[in-house]
A and B are shown apart, each in its own frame.
Chain A
């Protein structure tokens, strides 16, 4: 392998049912910064079938220099092997030095398969990406050991340097319709044998359950609430602030709320404008998922709870007494306006 043959940054522009996902733009955001540092091009790889031209145009507006489109009927619904074939073909054709994929349930399925095929390293769930001075290698930083430590990984002798990137971590660019770029089609032959699994059913679950990663205000409940009734009362605070209720792992394990609401290392990483930690002690696993929130309010009766170390405002009091008082204060504040 001649490393110097590999140039440019390629991001996998994940789409579902024809809609490019938010993670694709986040990858373009970090990809643009890295590509500019290296003074190399930024490519977006768009894989699917019958995608509208506007999809590629949007990728350009959000930072891509070139959009590589692989279109085939076999690529309409995500299936590992056809997608792996498409991505491998794109890597072989464009020889990017760096490939970013979202750390989604698709990206985390596809990227390892491809990395094994092209015999290169893959670093999962990166939260920090930089170029090292001198070597121009990619420094990939990620949480490890349950979020207790951060590790910086390099892939010095293999190309491309691949990583999956956690959704919600990277900032997307301001979109700019005047940005220029090209669209190239890449033909990849998907054969019948590549469709090596049979998809019997595709179910999209109603988007009624809003994603906690998208919320601006999160009211998160922990074991300190004591029981389900008390946990449900957090909804009152969420209603007043237009936020969503989320939870610690203990609460999810207790079955008070579904796993889609879990914040933390084994749940979701969130960075809302305001994060309420209600009766959450602040174990490192939880903190790993919320510490980047802009403003953190912690309420816990134990003043030694580690959560207070992360809080901008901490209240040492019984959460079950604070919740009704807070709802009242918020109502009063609204009424006064």
Chain B
């Protein structure tokens, strides 16, 4: 089975802080990581490889620095890595991003495509289903369990109020939840090999795609502005012992007619 895992390198947004004075985002020193849902998808693919002997290719679109995320995937056990990187791809929204990645997937070939549900920097959950639409494939999102059967996969698809068990014939696309597994660590041997192996870098010339459909130009949406949220005016803070604290809380709740 030929599995392609689509992954994004993201800033670890849990480490992001707002400058208390200027109110702006402090971007320096924030580590870049493989997006957690994507890493769950990679682990699921590697587990299928361990079980059935699949070939796992990792595909990422991003700046040259995204190379690091692909090296990590190689050190975890992926067989091949492709980085889609070109200025022409820049500024893309999810529509243009999914168009670009779909073109790369057509060139790569696949039986199963695994994406993460969503990336922690954008949280859109759109690119996976949109890739499937561009490729005319069935997709299942919010996958928390995956097993391969003959020519198909059977997955658990999670909803807020339950789940479905779904069988999908290959080829298809799945979007994975990070909770579906615990991703393996890179192996030491894999790490010492990671930079001896090739990460293919594909630019605009390497894929067949209409230039009107990619990058900023191909994006239906635009960011009009971005801003940090204003901080709500502070209430009262009391440095008191526990008993006095409890009394203050209860008084406040009485004032709010909660009790």
Direct contact of A and B (CB under 8 A): yes
Do residues B159 and A329 form an inter-chain contact, with CB atoms below 8 A?
no
Interfacial chain A residues near B169, Cβ < 8 Å: 196
State which residues 155-191 of A face B: CB under 8 Å.
155-158
Q: Does B108 contact A (CB under 8 A)?
A: no
- Picked from A124, A148, A285, the residue with its CB within 8 Å of the CB of B125 is A124
State which residues 43-75 of B face A: CB under 8 Å.
none
Chain A residue with minimal CB distance to B230?
A150
Q: Does B223 contact A (CB under 8 A)?
A: yes
Taken together as a complex, chains A and B put the C-alpha atoms of A200 and B232 apart, in Å, by 49
Taken together as a complex, chains A and B put the C-alpha atoms of A120 and B98 apart, in Å, by 13
Taken together as a complex, chains A and B put the C-alpha atoms of A201 and B242 apart, in Å, by 51
Taken together as a complex, chains A and B put the C-alpha atoms of A198 and B166 apart, in Å, by 6
Interfacial chain A residues near B235, Cβ < 8 Å: 296, 311-314
Q: How far is the CB of B33 from chain A (nearest CB, A)?
A: 12
Do residues A204 and B237 form an inter-chain contact, with CB atoms below 8 A?
no
Do residues B237 and A316 form an inter-chain contact, with CB atoms below 8 A?
yes
Chain B residue with minimal CB distance to A213?
B160
Q: Does A6 contact B (CB under 8 A)?
A: no
Mask: chain B, 79-96; 1 = CB below 8 Å from A; 0 = not: 000000000000001110
Do residues A314 and B237 form an inter-chain contact, with CB atoms below 8 A?
yes
How extensive is the interface on chain B, given as a class? 35 or more
Interfacial chain A residues near B123, Cβ < 8 Å: 124-125, 143-144, 146, 265
- Picked from A154, A158, A197, the residue with its CB within 8 Å of the CB of B138 is A197
Q: Does B110 contact A (CB under 8 A)?
A: no
Do residues A204 and B161 form an inter-chain contact, with CB atoms below 8 A?
yes
Q: How far is the CB of A247 from chain B (nearest CB, A)?
A: 15
Instruction: Say which one of B1-9, B12-20, B188-196, B198-206 lies at the interface with A.
Output: B12-20
Taken together as a complex, chains A and B put the C-alpha atoms of A80 and B235 apart, in Å, by 47
Mask: chain A, 124-162; 1 = CB below 8 Å from B; 0 = not: 110000000000000100011111111111111110000
- Picked from A106, A147, A303, the residue with its CB within 8 Å of the CB of B239 is A303
Do residues B94 and A198 form an inter-chain contact, with CB atoms below 8 A?
no
Taken together as a complex, chains A and B put the C-alpha atoms of A68 and B172 apart, in Å, by 31
State which residues 107-143 of B face A: CB under 8 Å.
120-130, 132-134, 138-142
Q: How far is the CB of B259 from chain A (nearest CB, A)?
A: 6
- Picked from A197, A318, A326, the residue with its CB within 8 Å of the CB of B168 is A197
Taken together as a complex, chains A and B put the C-alpha atoms of A71 and B110 apart, in Å, by 35
Q: Does A12 contact B (CB under 8 A)?
A: no
Do residues B246 and A148 form an inter-chain contact, with CB atoms below 8 A?
no
Interfacial chain A residues near B124, Cβ < 8 Å: 112, 122, 124-125
Taken together as a complex, chains A and B put the C-alpha atoms of A217 and B256 apart, in Å, by 12
Do residues A330 and B17 form an inter-chain contact, with CB atoms below 8 A?
no
Taken together as a complex, chains A and B put the C-alpha atoms of A106 and B159 apart, in Å, by 8
Taken together as a complex, chains A and B put the C-alpha atoms of A198 and B152 apart, in Å, by 11
Interface residues, chain A, with chain B CB atoms under 8 Å away: 16, 77, 80-81, 104-106, 108-109, 111-113, 115-117, 119-125, 139, 143-158, 196-205, 207, 211, 217, 241, 249, 259, 265-266, 273-274, 283-285, 291, 294-297, 299, 303, 308-318, 321-322, 324-326, 328-330, 333-334
Q: What are 26 A-B pairs with beta-carbon distances under 8 A? A: A16-B159, A112-B125, A116-B98, A121-B93, A122-B95, A122-B221, A124-B125, A125-B124, A144-B226, A146-B16, A146-B120, A146-B123, A150-B229, A152-B226, A197-B168, A199-B165, A211-B160, A217-B258, A284-B16, A311-B234, A313-B249, A315-B249, A316-B238, A317-B241, A317-B242, A326-B246
